Amino acid sequence: MAYQAEYIWIDGVEPTPTLRSKTKIIENDSKALPLWGFDGSSTNQATGEASDCILNPVFSCKDPIRGGKNVLVMCEVLIASTGKPHPTNMRAACALATKKYSAQKMIYGMEQEYTMMRLNGRPFGFPELSGEPSPQGPYYCGVGSGRVMGREIVEIHTEACLDAGLHISGTNAEVMPGQWEFQIGPVDALRVSDELHVARWLLHRIAEDYDIVISLDAKPQKGDWNGAGCHTNFSTKAMRSNYKAIEEACKALGARINEHVSNYGHDIESRLTGKHETAPYNKFTFGVSNRGASVRIPWQVARDKKGYAEDRRPNANMDPYVVTRLILETVCGKPKTANSKQKKSAKKKIKNKPTKTNK
């Protein structure tokens, strides 16, 4: 029997791209998922005269909504005339960096926060037409009517991620009512990013059935309400066994503040204000257990003297291909310090000595 493959890709909408998808019927006897195409002039990725863009499947999993043999297929977008990555294709650069720094074995756990909105644009946790709920406090990880909103969607989404075989590692209700989080990881840059996009697609798709819109806006509600982020936990092989490597990674991030925050999602200035459990976007700090720092070292990590660090700056609306690549380049590609260069040349001298006596 033929089955359905839902081809998912990232469009060219600005300032924050959105997900698109369409369904391909696959004949039973065909094994590999074929290249496909779409009309790029309808997604801000091409002009009408040269509208075709290519969909190249890069990751697939079971489709938990349709069930059976049906699959979800994450794709990257290629230019039809050249077969090269489209300018909106952020995965290609991430794949290159992953290859370049593969020896460091970087893995990531991403905490995707999001806000459920009504069709009229008001947060689902707010009264339907006007006014605000009581202030933040009881909602984070709460239980009971009036304290949490939208749990049914969260439960169905979590089951769907599990059925699809994604590395979902947890969920929780967030500080603003109707705001939630799920985590994917820890796995490598491409895997966590492919899976996060598929998990986002599933969330949007499931929420359709409830007339709920999933917002990844960094600051969906102005005022005294938390924004939505995507804390990115990361570790190299060295960090997983050595505390010094964790501190060095934090310092490397501190040396490239702007490269990171300017690529961590639209409207980051509205979210990283220094209030609501954030650090100001243009200042860099790191510290143990500090939720007001740019990068937090969890207390268990400080106790065990090994583990990972949490970059708290990425927005909910960031592109994981971009964020994981930047962390890879900054942490793994950091220039050697003068001190380590000296040590290296000293080693060389010693190494050269015995060769002289070696006849």
- According to DSSP, the β-strands at 309-311 and 295-297 are antiparallel
Q: Among residue numbers 282 through 311, which ones bind ligand ADP (CB under 6 A)?
A: 307-308, 310
Query: Could you tell me the sign of the dihedral formed by the alpha carbons of 75, 80, 83, 86, in that order?
Result: negative
Of residues 170, 208, 262, 336, which one binds ligand ADP by CB under 6 A? 170
Q: What are phi and psi of 340, to 5 degrees?
A: -70, -30
Least gap, CB of 107 to ligand ADP (angstroms): 5
Question: Closest-CB residue for ligand ADP?
Answer: 109
According to DSSP, residue 21 is labeled: E
Of residues 7, 9, 59, 108, which one binds ligand ADP by CB under 6 A? 108
Comparing CA positions, the residue from 228, 6, 213 lying closest to residue 122 is 213
**Which tokens belong to 321?**
């291909």
The answer to whether 314 contacts ligand ADP (rule: CB under 6 A) is no
What does the alpha-carbon distance between residue 135 and residue 118 come to, in Å, rounded to a whole number? 19
What does the alpha-carbon distance between residue 223 and residue 44 come to, in Å, rounded to a whole number? 33
The answer to whether 233 contacts ligand ADP (rule: CB under 6 A) is yes
Least gap, CB of 196 to ligand ADP (angstroms): 11
Per CB under 6 A, the segment of 41-49, 70-78, 157-165, 229-237 that binds ligand ADP is 229-237
The answer to whether 113 contacts ligand ADP (rule: CB under 6 A) is no
By CB under 5 A, name the binding residues for Mn ion. Answer: 111, 181, 231
Kind and range of the H or E run holding 107 = strand 107-118
Instruction: Please tell me whether residue 188 adopts helix, strand or coil conformation.
Output: coil
Of residues 85, 109, 125, 150, which one binds ligand ADP by CB under 6 A? 109
Nearer to ligand ADP (CB atom), residue 63 or residue 311:
311
Nearer to ligand ADP (CB atom), residue 10 or residue 301:
301
Residue pair 271/240 in contact (Cβ under 8 Å)? The answer is: no
Which of ligand ADP, Mn ion, none does 220 bind, CB closer than 5 to 8 A by kind? none
Comparing CA positions, the residue from 263, 247, 237, 248 lying closest to residue 334 is 248
Here's the x/- map for ligand ADP, 181-220, by CB under 6 A: it reads as --x-xx----------------------------------
The answer to whether 281 contacts ligand ADP (rule: CB under 6 A) is no
Count of residues near ligand ADP by CB under 6 A: 17
Which of ligand ADP, Mn ion, none does 146 bind, CB closer than 5 to 8 A by kind? none
The answer to whether 111 contacts ligand ADP (rule: CB under 6 A) is yes
Of residues 16, 169, 242, 263, which one binds ligand ADP by CB under 6 A? 169
Of the CA atoms within 13 Å of residue 303, those in its CB half-sphere come to 4
Alpha helices in the chain (DSSP H): 91-100, 151-164, 189-208, 243-254, 257-261, 268-271, 299-304, 320-332, 338-357
What does the alpha-carbon distance between residue 158 and residue 150 come to, in Å, rounded to a whole number? 13
Of the CA atoms within 13 Å of residue 127, those in its CB half-sphere come to 6
Of residues 77, 107, 198, 245, which one binds ligand ADP by CB under 6 A? 107
Which of ligand ADP, Mn ion, none does 307 bind, CB closer than 5 to 8 A by kind? ligand ADP
* Residues comprising the chain, all counted: 359
Here's the x/- map for ligand ADP, 116-155, by CB under 6 A: it reads as ----------------------------------------
According to DSSP, residue 271 is labeled: H
**Which tokens belong to 114?**
């999001």
Residue pair 139/125 in contact (Cβ under 8 Å)? The answer is: yes
Least gap, CB of 71 to Mn ion (angstroms): 29
Nearer to Mn ion (CB atom), residue 59 or residue 139:
139
**Residues near ligand ADP, by CB under 6 A:** 107-109, 111, 169-170, 183, 185-186, 231, 233-235, 240, 307-308, 310
